[in-house]
């Protein structure tokens, strides 16, 4: 029987994960089926159990269920435990559910693939929600000189920085207190979805800086357009999406697919 995997979300019809994992399966010769399942907002745990009972072996988890997934797991990887969120569920041989998070690895892998140097760099991360929390440990493991978290609510950014301060030079505060320049600026807010821009100073970017938006689309986001006008090199989050999917595929199948080929194909469909 073909092994079954899925992505859970609400909504989830827009998800590109089935296309990505189908491409990974074809590329690696792995026999699997991957679908999208829209779980009820108050019924994620039941949806996962039903999927397992029908033969499911693992799943990706997207908005708004990453914290629900964290709570239902029997075991967690250290990085998932630290992030407080799970985007990858693995059904173990003994029937227990193991949770991991691959978002940070996807982000760092994409930055490195694009030639962005994180070691010794001054980083700014915008936002203090779950998307940001899930990427801080891998970013700090890359050895930046400093990492500052800026958020509309300064106290939330400061609290998040305190949670990760044992891993490096981390600080946090409000958007109004941001002082550049930075070498890498990562937008982890959802502002781009609404065509909005966080209130940021014009002197944010150092010469040769990179602006990265975790969101993506056929056209550059408002944040990336703004950054480009101020001299920054720009990258969107499509590579992060494919990269985190590749990490999940590796956890499930023990085979690491080639991200570049799938990313190039996916980019042409936007």
User: What does each C-alpha distance from 204 to 53, 109, 113, 181 come to in angstroms?
Assistant: 51, 24, 24, 5
199 phi and psi, to 5 degrees? -70, 105
For residue 66, indicate whether it is catalytic.
yes
Strands 75-76 and 97-100 come out as parallel
Q: Is 202 exposed, middle or buried (0-12, 13-18, 19+ CB in 10 A)?
A: exposed
Q: Bridge partners of 60?
A: 7, 88
Reduced to 3 states, what is the DSSP secondary structure of residue 209?
A: strand
Residue stretches of the annotated binding site for shikimate: 15-17, 62, 87, 103, 216, 244
Strands 233-235 and 205-213 come out as parallel
Reduced to 3 states, what is the DSSP secondary structure of residue 16?
A: coil
Residue stretches of the annotated binding site: 15-17, 62, 87, 103, 127-131, 151-156, 214, 216, 237, 244
User: Quick check: do 3-101+242-267 and 104-236 share a fold?
Assistant: yes
Residue-range domain boundaries for the chain: 3-101+242-267, 104-236
**Helices and strands of the chain, counted as H and E runs:** 10, 12
Check residue 109 and give its pLDDT.
96
Check residue 191 and give its pLDDT.
82
* pLDDT tens across the length of the chain (270 residues): 689 999 999 999 999 999 999 999 999 999 999 999 999 999 999 999 999 999 999 999 998 999 999 999 999 999 999 999 999 999 999 999 999 999 999 999 999 999 999 999 999 999 998 889 999 999 999 999 999 999 999 999 999 999 999 999 999 999 999 998 999 999 999 888 788 898 899 999 999 999 999 999 899 999 999 999 999 999 999 999 999 999 999 999 999 999 999 999 999 998
Check residue 190 and give its pLDDT.
83
Check residue 228 and give its pLDDT.
97
Check residue 221 and give its pLDDT.
94
Check residue 211 and give its pLDDT.
98
CATH of 3-101+242-267, one of 3.30.910.20, 3.40.50.10860, 3.40.50.450, 3.90.1150.10: 3.40.50.10860
Catalytic residue among 21, 66, 82, 148: 66
Q: Is the CATH number 1.10.357.10 carried by domain 104-236?
A: no
Q: Cα–Cα distance between 227 and 230 in angstroms, integer?
A: 5
Check residue 220 and give its pLDDT.
95
Q: CB atoms < 10 A from the CB of 93, how many?
A: 5
Check residue 131 and give its pLDDT.
86
Residue stretches of the annotated binding site for NADP(+): 127-131, 151-156, 214, 237
């Amino acid at each position: 029987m073909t092994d079954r995997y899925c992505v859970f979300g609400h909504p989830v019809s827009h998800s590109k994960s089935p296309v990505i994992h189908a491409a990974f399966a074809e590329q690696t010769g792995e026999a699997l089926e991957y679908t999208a399942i829209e779980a009820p907002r108050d019924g994620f745990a039941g949806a996962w159990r039903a999927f397992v009972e029908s033969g499911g072996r693992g799943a990706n988890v997207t908005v708004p269920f990453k914290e629900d997934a964290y709570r239902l797991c029997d075991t967690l990887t250290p990085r998932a435990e630290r992030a407080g969120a799970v985007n990858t569920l693995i059904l173990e041989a003994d029937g227990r559910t193991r949770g991991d998070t691959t978002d940070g690895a996807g982000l760092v892998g994409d930055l490195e693939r694009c030639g962005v140097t994180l070691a010794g760099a001054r980083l700014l991360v915008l936002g203090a929600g779950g998307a940001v929390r899930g990427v801080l440990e891998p970013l700090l493991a890359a050895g930046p000189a400093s990492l500052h978290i800026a958020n509309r609510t300064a106290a939330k950014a400061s609290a998040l920085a305190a949670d990760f301060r044992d891993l490096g030079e981390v600080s946090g505060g409000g958007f109004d207190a941001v002082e550049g320049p930075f070498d890498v600026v990562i937008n982890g807010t959802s502002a781009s979805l609404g065509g909005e821009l966080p209130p940021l100073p014009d002197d944010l970017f150092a010469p040769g800086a990179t602006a990265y938006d975790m969101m993506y689309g056929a056209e550059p986001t408002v944040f990336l357009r703004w950054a480009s006008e101020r001299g920054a090199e720009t990258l969107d989050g499509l590579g992060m999406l494919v990269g985190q999917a590749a990490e999940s595929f590796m956890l499930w199948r023990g085979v690491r697919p080639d991200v570049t080929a799938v990313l190039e194909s996916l980019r042409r469909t936007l």
